[in-house]
């Protein structure tokens, strides 16, 4: 499976709504609704052969790491 987003693509941060928040989720909430640019991506292959993508996203002067389900394509 190919990555959903490409380097240079603008995205919007949309944290997944969970019933129980983890410390990772709390950190992402501060970026909810902000837009950024994909600077790199990485993939991990799980035992079951499932590939997941993790993206490095530049937001302002910071770079954060997000799972594919925490971002969506930027729309004007």
Identify the three-state secondary structure at position 24.
helix
Q: Of 76, 58, 74, nearest to 66 (Cα)?
A: 58
What is each CA distance from 17 to 43, 45, 53, in whole angstroms? 23, 24, 19
Q: pTM for the whole thing?
A: 0.81
Look at residue 4 in the predicted model and tell me its pLDDT: 95
Tens of pLDDT along 13-34? 987 665 555 555 557 778 889 9
Distance CA 72, CA 5 (A): 9
């Amino acid at each position: 499976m190919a990555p959903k987003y490409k380097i240079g693509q603008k995205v919007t941060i949309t944290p997944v709504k969970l019933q129980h928040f983890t410390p990772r989720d709390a950190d992402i909430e501060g970026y909810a609704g902000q837009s950024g640019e994909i600077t790199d991506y990485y993939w991990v292959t799980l035992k079951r052969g499932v590939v997941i993508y993790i993206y490095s996203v530049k937001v302002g002067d910071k770079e954060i790491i997000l799972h594919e389900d925490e971002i969506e394509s930027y729309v004007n």
